[in-house]
Amino acid sequence: MSYEIKLLELPDQPTLVMRSIMPVGKLPEFFGKAYGGIMAYLGDLGEYPTGMPFCAYYNLDMNALDVEAGFPVAKKFEGKGEIKPNVIPGGKFISTIHIGAYDSVQPAYDSLVQWAKDNGIEPTGIAYEYYLNDPSSDPSIKPETEIRFPLK
């Protein structure tokens, strides 16, 4: 599969998130808890997310992933329990979109890494995934995931 790589410049983005360290096999359970909890909290506030759900991977240790899951929001909100306010720092990013199963995104990551090397830029080491659609609502829909690497 060929990936189109884009260079983006984005402003700071307020978020509401949950963060944890876990083995990769626990991700589905964690995502369900985080996204459901944050949506319920936003509902209690009479607010909505301003974009699609995302996760941030702060390392790639499959036995102890440091992962954050949440939603972009319009402004900084107070946290509640495990739900914390955060900000995705603005700056330059490289981005691509993967169409297909969530567990088959590695070629998209590899394409971003190679593009960065070829263009003499260095990612920070954090990876963001934005889940652009919800195939659980219609099995004929293929998952679309935007992957972003912030740049140093």
pLDDT tens digit sequence for 117-150:
999 999 999 999 999 998 888 888 999 999 999 9
Q: How many CB atoms lie within 10 A of CB 145?
A: 22
Residue 1's pLDDT band, with cuts at 50, 70 and 90, is: confident
Domain ranges of the chain: 6-150
Cβ-in-10-Å burial (0-12, 13-18, 19+) of 146 comes to middle
Tell me the mean pLDDT in the region 85-106: 95
**Do 37 and 70 touch, CB atoms closer than 8 A?**
no
Structure-token pair, residue 15? 């978020």
- Containing 116, the helix (H) or strand (E) segment is helix 106-118
CA–CA dist 148, 26 (Å, integer): 22
Which has the higher per-residue pLDDT, 98 or 102? 98
pLDDT over threshold 90, residue 103: no
- Please determine, for residue 52, whether its predicted confidence score (pLDDT) is greater than 80: yes
Average pLDDT over residues 92-103: 95
Among 3.40.50.720, 3.20.80.10, 3.30.930.10, 3.40.50.1450, name the CATH number for the domain at 6-150: 3.20.80.10
